[in-house]
Amino acid sequence: MAKAVKKQALGRGLSALLKDPNNDINSVQDKNADKVIGNIVELELSSIEMNPFQPRTNFNEESLRELASSIKELGVIQPITVRKLNFDNYQLVSGERRFRASQSIGLKTIPAYIRIANDQESLEMALVENIQRQDLDPIEIALSYQRLIDEINLTQEQMSERVGKKRSTITNYLRLLKLDPIIQTGMRDGFISMGHGRAIINIEDQNIQLDIYEKILKNKLSVRDTETLVRTYNETQQVEVPKAQAKQEEEMPKFVKKSIKDFSDYFGHKIDIKVSKNGKGKITIPFHSEEDFNRIKKLVQSAK
C-alpha cells in the first residue's frame, strides 16, 4: 500500500511539471523529458482527447459499468497511454475503456504513461496495443491488421514481430475480411465462431457463403459439420447439411424449435438445445469472455 501512495505522489509532482509553460516537453531531447516519458503521471481527464485511430468500435455498456465500479473501489490499476499534442493537451493511445469508466464516475484525473509520437506512430501503437490487450472480436482484429497494412505499410512479417503472432495466424484473420458482410456481422455478434468463418472462406461465391451461413444457424452446425458441408460443396457444388445433423433437426420437438430463436435473441448468442428420445434435454449458452459471462449471468439473475 505504501508503494502505491508513493507512486501517486510522484505522479502529482510530474503533473505540476507538465503544467509549467517553462518546461513544455515536445520531444525526447527537451529538458526534463526523461522525468516524464515512460513514467506514470496523473493527468486531468479534461486535458485528454479521444484517439481517432481507435480500432475498437463496440463498447459493452454493462462491462463499462462493472469496470467503473471496480475503479471506484480500487482506483485505476493499469495506467492509460497518451501522446503529447501540445502544452497540457494529450491524445489517448490505449485504455479507452478505463478512460470512459473514469469519466462516468466523475474522476478528475487518471494515471497515464506519456509518449511522444506522430500520427503514424500513434496509430501503430493504438492498433498493436489493442490487438495484444483488448478482447476484440475476430473481425475487429482483422480490421486492425488490415489498417496496419494499409496505413502503416507493414508487411505481414513485420506485423508478426510487432504483435508476437505467427504470420499464419495473421493471414487467417485477414482472410475473414473476404467473408460476406452479413457473415462478418454474425461473427461479431457471436452467432458463429472464427472457426466457422475460416471454413466458409474456402468458398469464393458470397451467395453460397450466405447459403451455408443460414444452414449453420438453422441447424446449429459445429465447426466440423461446417467443414464437411464446405468440402461436400466443393466436390458436388451442392449445399447439403450433414445427414446426422439434418436428422437431429428433424426430430427436434416443435415446442423446442419455436423457442430457439427466443432464447438466442434474449441471450444475444446462438443457443444450442439438444433433446433425447425420452423428452429430456439440455440448453447450452455459449460465452466469449469474462465480460460476456457476467452479462449472461445478470440476464439469468434478472429473470428470477
Q: How far is CA 16 from CA 22, 36, 39, 41, 296, in A?
A: 11, 11, 14, 10, 45
Q: With helix as H, strand as E and coil as C, how does 224-291 read?
A: HHHHHHHHHHHHHCCCCCCHHHHHHHHHCCHHHHHHHHHHHHHHCCCCEEEECCCCCEEEECCCCCHH
Assess contact for 116 and 84: CB atoms under 8 A.
yes
Q: Which residues pair with 81 in a beta bridge?
A: 94, 113
Residue 57: name the closest of 144, 140, 116 by CA: 140
Q: Which residues pair with 110 in a beta bridge?
A: 43
254-285 per-residue burial string, b: 16 or more CB within 10 A, e: under 16:
eeeeeebeebbeebbbbbebebeeeeeeeeeb
Choice among 49, 66, 73, 96 that is catalytic: 96
Q: Catalytic residue at 42?
A: no
d(CA 152, CA 121): 8
Assess contact for 82 and 110: CB atoms under 8 A.
no
Q: DSSP character for 41?
A: E
**CB neighbour list of residue 182: distance below 8 Å, 6 or more residues apart:** 210, 213
Q: What is the DSSP pairing of strand 89-94 with strand 272-275? A: unpaired
Residues recognised as catalytic: 96
